[in-house]
Amino acid sequence: MKNNDYPSSNNRRKFLRGISLALGTTAFGIPLLSLNACQSGNSGNQEQADQANQDGAQNRKLGIALVGLGGYSTNQLAPALQETENCYLAGIVTGTPSKAEEWKSKYNIPEKNIYNYENFDQIKDNQDIDIVYVVLPNGMHAEYTIRAAQAGKHVICEKPMATSVEDCQRMIDACNQNNVSLSIGYRLHYEPHNQRVMELGQQQVFGPVRRIEAADSFVIDEPDVWRLDKELAGGGPLMDLGIYCVQGAVYTMGETPVAITAQFGEVTKPEYFDEVEETIMWQMEFPNGAVADCRSSYNEEAGKLRGEAENGWWELDPAYSYSGIDGETSEGNMDYPQVNQQARQMDGQAQSVMENRKSRVPGEMGMRDVRILMAIYEAARTGNRVQLDI
């Protein structure tokens, strides 16, 4: 069954309509928040006022509103927000009244901080909400990111950023124009094992990386889910899971691939996969000659990220799970703590807003990855080697 928290399928095209916006591009800037800071009309006291402003920003938790109360919000994000230090669950946006009542009671959310998809834009008047976290199907990311930005709210958008490069650019432009930050929900940038992989590859701890192997897959066992609807999902496992492989390879290398080859796998469940791919395999070539062999499927189980360098190797398996990440290298086991990835992610993203810094995982990174995903699809459709210039 499709998740009925989102706008109904009858209204899908309304929610996925092209957004015609004249958005000017400005320099990326995130304003310091004015968080209950004292204001003074006396120019002699301006320095004290500025300091109070800064102290207030550092001491106050930022309020996050979750847009879409599907499984990820319910099982990961909301519980994580009970552990965060820099932010808290301030509001929700849902199309299901029963969920609104359930969440209101469970998390003590004020009635004024509960919205639906029709009155969402009124969130601009709510001072409790600093950040909007868009946790909707992929095809809806652009619309709600842009609307959140126009409401003057900072935005965290789940991965993949959008279903087209053009939508990604509109999202970035809207956030720039409204002086709000844009982060992508790349939780593994805050996870210790994956952070170590970044160091091993980028700092060439075992010498230059020669090969990467990445796989992320799970089995979909019912046909009527939004992930199999191309309009909502933008594609199949590549968009949902393969993006972790793309991310893993890129943050291992610390650079963007220059060329891609790809092919679609066999369709064994045509009743499921009549709109999106069931399995896809691709190879990314990097400037130094390293290659990343990747695979993603909705009909098998996998979750690996392996790097092979001139003088050693490392492997995470599972690499992308919400918990229980495990790793080893040619020198022994990786001994890092298991952490609440979502709590670390949201704390880090909130801190970047509070400190007026660009996010560790900004919209530009999300757009780069969507460019790579689109190139993978092009390579698989055409059978050609696709060159990238990002």
Cα–Cα distance for residue pair 91/5, rounded to 1 Å: 15
DSSP letter for 61, please: P
Cα–Cα distance for residue pair 308/75, rounded to 1 Å: 35
**Same structural domain for residues 17 and 164?**
yes
Let me know if 244 is a catalytic residue. yes
In a domain, 160, yes or no: yes
Q: What is the predicted pLDDT for the residue at 59? A: 64
Catalytic residue among 6, 99, 117, 159: 159
Cα–Cα distance for residue pair 104/109, rounded to 1 Å: 5
Q: How many domains does the chain have?
A: 2
CA dihedral 170, 174, 175, 180 (to 10 degrees): -170
**Same structural domain for residues 205 and 152?**
no
Question: What tokens were used for 245?
Answer: 């492989």
- Looking up residue 322, the CATH number of its domain turns out to be 3.30.360.10
In a domain, 201, yes or no: yes
**Same structural domain for residues 259 and 312?**
yes
Q: What is the pLDDT along the chain (390 residues), one digit of tens a residue?
A: 334 466 543 444 443 433 223 222 222 222 322 222 222 333 334 444 344 444 444 468 999 999 999 999 999 999 999 999 999 999 999 999 999 999 999 999 999 999 999 999 999 999 999 999 999 999 999 999 999 999 999 999 999 999 999 999 999 999 999 999 999 999 999 999 999 999 999 999 999 999 999 999 999 999 999 999 999 999 999 999 999 999 999 999 999 999 999 999 999 999 999 999 999 999 999 999 999 999 999 999 999 999 999 999 999 999 999 999 999 999 999 999 999 999 999 999 999 999 999 999 999 999 999 999 999 999 999 999 999 998
Let me know if 272 is a catalytic residue. no
The last residue of one of the domains, among 186, 219, 234, is: 186
In a domain, 40, yes or no: no
The answer to whether residues 76 and 322 touch, using CB atoms and an 8 Å cutoff, is yes
- Looking up residue 105, the CATH number of its domain turns out to be 3.40.50.720
Q: What is the predicted pLDDT for the residue at 6? A: 62
**Same structural domain for residues 127 and 220?**
no
pTM: 0.87
**Same structural domain for residues 97 and 126?**
yes
Q: Which amino acid is at 276?
A: V
Q: What is the predicted pLDDT for the residue at 80? A: 98
CA atoms within 13 A on the CB side of 5: 23
**Same structural domain for residues 119 and 171?**
yes
The last residue of one of the domains, among 186, 220, 253, is: 186
**In sequence order, what are the residues at sequence separation of 6 or more whose Cβ sits closer than 8 angstroms to the Cβ of residue 47?**
none
Q: Which range of residues forms the domain containing residue 299? A: 192-338+363-387
**Same structural domain for residues 274 and 315?**
yes
Question: What tokens were used for 321?
Answer: 């799970």
Cα–Cα distance for residue pair 8/332, rounded to 1 Å: 51
Cα–Cα distance for residue pair 249/243, rounded to 1 Å: 10
Residue 68 backbone class (left: φ over 0; alpha: ψ -120 to 50; beta: rest)? left
The answer to whether residues 367 and 169 touch, using CB atoms and an 8 Å cutoff, is yes
The last residue of one of the domains, among 138, 163, 186, is: 186
**In sequence order, what are the residues at sequence separation of 6 or more whose Cβ sits closer than 8 angstroms to the Cβ of residue 223?**
269, 271, 272
> Of the candidates 170, 181, 165, 178, which has an alpha carbon nearest to the alpha carbon of residue 21?
170
**Same structural domain for residues 74 and 135?**
yes
Tell me the sheet residues that pair with 141. none
Query: What are the residue ranges of helices labelled H in the chain?
Result: 12-15, 46-59, 71-72, 78-80, 97-107, 141-150, 165-177, 192-202, 230-233, 237, 243-253, 341-354, 363-382
**Same structural domain for residues 208 and 278?**
yes
**In sequence order, what are the residues at sequence separation of 6 or more whose Cβ sits closer than 8 angstroms to the Cβ of residue 28?**
176, 358, 362
Catalytic residue among 190, 244, 251, 298: 244
In a domain, 3, yes or no: no
In a domain, 346, yes or no: no
In a domain, 268, yes or no: yes
In a domain, 168, yes or no: yes
Q: What is the predicted pLDDT for the residue at 7? A: 58
**Same structural domain for residues 209 and 331?**
yes
Q: What is the predicted pLDDT for the residue at 215? A: 99
The answer to whether residues 281 and 295 touch, using CB atoms and an 8 Å cutoff, is yes
**Same structural domain for residues 153 and 281?**
no
* Distance, first Cα to last Cα, the chain: 39
In a domain, 354, yes or no: no
Query: What are the residue ranges of helices labelled H in 234-304?
Result: 237, 243-253
DSSP letter for 288, please: T
Q: What is the predicted pLDDT for the residue at 213? A: 99
Exposed e or buried b per residue across 108-142, where buried means at least 16 C-beta atoms within 10 angstroms of its C-beta: ebeeebbbebeebeebeebeebbbbbbbbbbbbbb
CB count within 10 Å of CB 356 equals: 14
**Same structural domain for residues 113 and 13?**
yes
